[in-house]
């Protein structure tokens, strides 16, 4: 709580599960954008995003999948990673996650 000139401001800093999932979705988008760049994709290329299942990623993709697809130009979020996809392992929200991207034909 902060006080100045007789005014008080209080901010609730509790991170709810919903807020944590939104943050995880934003971090996944950030990582996928970096992976697109690392793979040499053009900014306008549509991709397919691949992932390895976990409780966290299943929950986040269930709630934020459309957002992730829209922000990364992904036409699909597919479980498993094919050998020809650019894949990387990331630690997100305290959990190891494998993500892959492949440019659509």
Residue pLDDT, tens place only, 69-89: 999 999 999 999 999 999 999
By residue range, what is the domain housing residue 44? Answer: 14-103
Count of the separate structural domains present in the chain: 1
Alpha carbon separation from 100 to 17, 31, 89 (Å, rounded): 26, 10, 9
Is 53 a domain residue?
Answer: yes
Is 1 a domain residue?
Answer: no
Is 8 a domain residue?
Answer: no
pTM for this entry: 0.86
Is residue 29 over pLDDT 80?
A: yes
Is 69 a domain residue?
Answer: yes
Is 43 a domain residue?
Answer: yes
**Which residues neighbour 101 within 8 Å (Cβ) at sequence distance 6 or greater?**
32, 35, 36, 39, 41, 47, 48, 49, 50, 72, 85, 86, 87
């Amino acid at each position: 709580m902060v006080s100045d000139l007789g005014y008080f401001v209080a901010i609730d800093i509790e991170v709810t599960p919903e807020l944590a999932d939104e943050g995880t979705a934003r971090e996944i988008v950030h990582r996928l954008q970096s992976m697109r760049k690392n793979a040499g994709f053009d900014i306008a290329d549509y991709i397919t995003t691949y992932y390895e299942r976990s409780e966290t990623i299943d929950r986040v993709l269930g709630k934020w999948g459309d957002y992730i697809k829209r922000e990364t130009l992904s036409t699909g979020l597919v479980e498993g990673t094919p050998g020809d996809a650019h894949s990387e392992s990331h630690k997100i929200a305290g959990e190891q996650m494998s993500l892959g991207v492949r440019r659509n034909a």
